[in-house]
Amino acid sequence: MSRNLLQAIQASLSLPPTASLASNSSDPGLRSLVSLPNCNGFWYDTFLIVPSVLFVLYLAVHAKKNLTKLYNGGSYVMKSCYALLWVATLLNLAWCFSQAWQCSPGKDIAWNFLSLLTASGILCLEISMMGFLLKDNYMNGMETLAHTFLVSGVIVILDTLLKAIYVFGFGVPLFNRDVGSSHKIKWGLLIIHKLLLAAAYGFILFVHFSKWREKLPPRPAFYNYVVAMFVFSAIALFACGLAVTGAGLGNWMYDLTVLCYHTLYLPFLYVTFLEDFFQEEDFLLDNAYYSEMRDAGFFDAEWE
């Protein structure tokens, strides 16, 4: 009897504290609650949540000024981009705060649905913004808006439908971490997705150095954005290629790209383009005031 008691004590000491507590509990809710803090790790969740919260606060602080400018003379394109930015940002914030759903029993459907919505919202913003920029006509009316949203909508719907079929139909853990190389279909889909994005940005860079260069918008910020997204997509593609072979470095690199994408992409997009738009409106407004004052003769005394 003493030998059995000693073996039981040794077995209990060999278990981690959370695993021992979970195994001694018959309540599945308590077991999931105990395992939640170890889902992604404290620092991963911190680096994911804090920048997202700060960006939402930044948008909220400038919301009144930006909305006033859009209401007083913003184009349909600018209004749509700003609205899409808010939708994508709020979805991304909810996604960041819901990381524990990956490890929660019974939360699989909710996690996959939220992840699918978030990915679709950000992708729609990304494609729509590129469509507006390639047209190089930000002040156009409903025709440009409808054409761009038609193209981006078709792409996003097809992408979302394909992911939904694999996630909900075939049970592929497309939005879950720590699956390793056991799910070849997941990494195959991600490789195709990253390859298409890298090819799209690479094609734009190719056009920039070709004889069709004049068809692209003459904005340095546009090319900086394209170069950054091409490099990012290439790194993510390389990480997926490593992960599908079973290399641990591939999983680590891909997790890093996901972390950077959900924390840095939306602020990067705003600073690169949308903030520029609002500054340009200030510049155009100042020019309009100057022209009105010049026509009214306020500057005639300077020439006498």
pLDDT tens, 83-116?
999 999 999 999 999 998 988 888 989 999 999 9
pLDDT tens digit sequence for 179-213 = 766 678 899 999 999 999 999 999 999 988 888 88
pLDDT for res 136: 55
Residue boundaries of the structural domains of the chain: 42-280
User: In angstroms, rounded to a whole number, what is the distance separating the alpha carbons of residues 167 and 259?
Assistant: 21
Q: What is the DSSP-derived secondary structure letter of residue 111?
A: H
Residue 232 predicted with pLDDT over 90: yes
Q: Which residue has the higher pLDDT, 278 or 299?
A: 278
What is the pLDDT, as a whole number, of residue 282? Answer: 46
What is the rounded average pLDDT for all residues in the chain? Answer: 78
Per the model's pLDDT, the better-predicted residue between 124 and 218 turns out to be 124
Query: Which of the residue ranges 37-41, 123-127, 251-255, 299-303 would you say has the lowest mean pLDDT?
Result: 299-303
Q: What percent of the chain has pLDDT over 70?
A: 73
Tell me what pLDDT residue 302 has. Answer: 45
147-173 mean pLDDT = 91
User: What's the pLDDT score for residue 55?
Assistant: 96
Give mean pLDDT, residues 118-142.
79
In the structure, what pLDDT confidence band is assigned to residue 274 with cuts at 50, 70 and 90?
Answer: confident
CA distances (Å), origin 83, targets 33, 52, 142, 247, 261: 36, 17, 16, 40, 20
Q: In the structure, what pLDDT confidence band is assigned to residue 278 with cuts at 50, 70 and 90?
A: low
Q: What is the pLDDT of residue 228?
A: 94
Tokens of 141: 């009316």
pLDDT value for 39: 75
Judge contact between 274 and 85, C-beta under 8 A.
yes
**Which one of 45-59, 145-159, 163-177 scores highest in mean pLDDT?**
45-59
- Residues whose CB is less than 8 angstroms from the CB of residue 148 and which lie 6 or more positions away in sequence, other chains included: 77, 128, 131, 132, 135
Check residue 247 and give its pLDDT: 81
Residue 194's pLDDT is what? 94
**Rounded distance, CA 215 to CA 221, Å?**
16
- The pLDDT of residue 1 is 43
Residue 212: count other Cβ atoms within 10 Å of its Cβ: 10
